[in-house]
């Protein structure tokens, strides 16, 4: 015991220090370790979650890019098709319009030539009628109405017939 | 110059003598509690300021412990004791280096001669403190061992009658537990006390500039001793909670 005394060991102090340390251990556990360890867990969970999210979003981005590329290709194809179609259609339309115009022109030409013929015929008819009237009148005047109507008409007709030759 | 191996008594409360080392351990405890309070007052998932520093220390300790124990859930059980040992020893050692510790005091007539009694003295430069830490550690190790692998299996490490060699080895194990406690206590006490003496002596010989490298050295020794104490406690815990029969 002499040796312990000279080293300064005192049971009362020893026990006091043990108690002090245990109190400190208790307080720090409650105040420091528990909340911090919980925080570490939360943080690592959050980081994991964040990494997972990042992976998912990068995957999504890739997919979206692929989708966009696909849509773009489709649109390009469609546009090309549309362009080709409209070109074809326009050509067809042009052809149709031209054909119509040709037809119309032909029609107009036919009609006008018919009209001309008609007009000529009418003219001829009219002229003939007038000539026949004139002939009738002349005959009447020349013969002083001595010719009977029958003969007069016959003569006129003959004259007209002669004219047609 | 008077160097006392024992911590000096500076007051008395009832039957309990108050020593300068004890006052120092109280201060260390209060410092730790205050820092812990400020570090965890406004916890945020993104650490800032004090929280960041404290987190770094705690995380370092936790990872070190986890590497040895190898299971996070298990580590959490032993972590408070290990962390408290580390922080408490470290803060005590470093606070003991502050100017004024060991130099501010009063003279007292002791056994007929006048001796200088400092008001403060490094907490671990007192065998009561280091023995208290050692006893807590070793007893905790036994308790952890019993909880982890069961009383009979654990006590089987020390007392077996299966064959005489094992009986003898068990007896040696028992002795080694006690010697561990003693070496724990004296290693820490010796290092810190020696540091105090060294600084005192150097300051007496060359008061200016010369003590500076020694202060640096003592800062280092203080940290290393805290780490050594903690690491040894960690290894002892690991050994105690591992069932040796299962390993073979």
pLDDT 10s digits, B159-169:
878 788 888 88
Segment A37-91, tens digit of pLDDT: 888 888 889 999 999 999 999 999 999 999 999 999 999 999 999 999 999 999 9
Q: By the CB < 8 Å criterion, does A21 face chain B? A: yes
For residue B109, give the 3-state DSSP assignment: strand
Model pLDDT, residue B1: 60
Q: Which has the higher per-residue pLDDT, B8 or B130?
A: B130
DSSP one-letter code for B69: H
Q: What domain count does chain A have?
A: 1
Q: Which uninterrupted H or E stretch holds B19?
A: strand B16-19
CB contact under 8 A, A17 and B83: no
Structural domain for A90, as ranges: 2-164
Residue B67 burial class via C-beta count within 10 angstroms: exposed 0-12, middle 13-18, buried 19 and up: exposed
User: Residue A142 burial by CB count (10 A; 0-12/13-18/19+): exposed, middle or buried?
Assistant: exposed
> Is ipTM over 0.95?
no
Kindly state whether A84 is in contact with chain B, defined as any CB-CB distance less than 8 angstroms.
no
For tokens 């007496």, the residue is B204
Res A100 pLDDT > 90: yes
User: Mind giving me the DSSP string for A36-54?
Assistant: HHHHHHHHHHHHHHHHHHH
Residue B178 is encoded by which pair of tokens?
Answer: 């006690």
Q: Tokens 């007009």 identify what position? A: A119
Least CB–CB distance from A12: residue in B4, B15, B84:
B15
Mean pLDDT of A105-130: 90
Residue of A nearest to B14 (CA): A12
Is it the case that residue B247 has pLDDT exceeding 50?
A: no
Residue A16, chain B, CB below 8 Å: the answer is yes
**What is the DSSP annotation of B79-107?**
HHHHHHHHHHHHHHHHHTTSTTTTTSEEE
Structure-token match 């003219």, residue found = A123
Which residue among A8, A18, A28 sits closest to B126, beta carbon to beta carbon?
Answer: A8
Band of pLDDT at residue B245, cut at 50, 70 and 90: low
Give the C-alpha distances (Å, rounded to integers) separating B114 from B2, B17, B35, B110, B149: 10, 20, 39, 6, 56
Q: What is the pLDDT of residue A1?
A: 61
Range from A49-63, A124-138, A151-165, B47-61 carrying the lowest mean pLDDT = A151-165
Quote the pLDDT of residue A96.
94
Q: Which two tokens stand for residue B108?
A: 């007292």
List the structure tokens of B118: 């400092």
Q: What is the pTM of this model?
A: 0.71
Weakest-pLDDT range from B5-9, B129-133, B194-198, B222-226:
B5-9
Torsion of CA B221, B54, B138, B19, to 10 degrees: 70
List CB contacts (< 8 A) between A22 and chain B: 136
When pLDDT is averaged across residues B174-196 and rounded to a whole number, the result is: 90
Task: Tell me if chain A has a CB within 8 Å of the CB of B52.
Answer: no
Least CA distance to A5: which residue of chain B? Answer: B6
Work out the minimum CA distance from A56 to partner chain B, whole angstroms: 23
A92 compared with B13, residue with greater pLDDT: A92
């Amino acid at each position: 015991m002499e040796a312990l005394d000279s080293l300064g060991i005192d049971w009362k102090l020893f026990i006091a220090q043990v108690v002090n340390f245990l109190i400190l251990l208790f307080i720090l556990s409650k105040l420091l370790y528990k909340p911090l360890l919980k925080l570490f867990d939360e943080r690592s969970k959050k980081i994991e979650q964040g990494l997972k999210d990042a992976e998912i979003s990068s995957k999504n981005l890739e997919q979206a890019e692929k989708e966009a590329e696909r849509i773009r290709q489709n649109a390009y194809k469609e546009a090309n098709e549309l362009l080709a179609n409209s070109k074809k259609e326009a050509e067809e339309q042009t052809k149709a319009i031209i054909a119509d115009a040709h037809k119309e022109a032909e029609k107009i030409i036919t009609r006008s030539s018919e009209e001309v013929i008609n007009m000529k015929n009418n003219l001829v008819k009219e002229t003939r009628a007038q000539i026949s009237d004139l002939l009738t009148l002349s005959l009447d005047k020349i013969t002083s109405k001595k010719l009977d109507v029958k003969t007069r008409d016959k003569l006129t007709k003959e004259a007209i017939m002669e004219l047609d030759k | 110059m008077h160097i006392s191996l024992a911590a000096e008594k500076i007051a008395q409360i009832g039957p309990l003598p108050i020593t300068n080392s004890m006052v120092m351990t109280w201060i260390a405890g209060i410092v730790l509690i205050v820092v812990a309070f400020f570090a965890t007052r406004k916890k945020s998932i993104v650490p800032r300021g004090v929280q960041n520093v404290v987190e770094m220390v705690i995380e370092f300790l936790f990872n070190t412990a986890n590497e040895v124990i190898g299971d996070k859930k298990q580590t959490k059980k032993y972590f408070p004791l290990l962390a408290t040992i580390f922080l408490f020893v470290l803060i005590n050692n470093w606070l003991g280096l502050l100017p004024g510790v060991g130099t501010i005091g009063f003279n007292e007539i002791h056994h007929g001669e006048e001796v200088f009694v400092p008001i403060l003295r490094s907490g671990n430069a007192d065998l009561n403190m280091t023995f208290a830490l050692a006893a807590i550690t070793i007893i905790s190790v036994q308790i952890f061992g019993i909880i982890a692998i069961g009383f009979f299996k654990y006590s089987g490490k020390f007392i077996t009658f299966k064959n005489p060699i094992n009986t003898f080895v068990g007896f040696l194990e028992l002795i080694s537990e006690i010697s561990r406690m003693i070496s724990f206590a004296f290693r820490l006490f010796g290092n810190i006390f020696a540091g105090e003496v060294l600084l005192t002596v150097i300051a007496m010989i060359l008061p200016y500039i010369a003590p500076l490298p020694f202060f640096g050295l003592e800062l280092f020794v203080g940290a290393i001793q805290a780490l050594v104490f903690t690491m040894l406690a960690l290894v002892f815990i690991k050994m105690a909670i591992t069932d040796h029969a299962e390993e073979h």
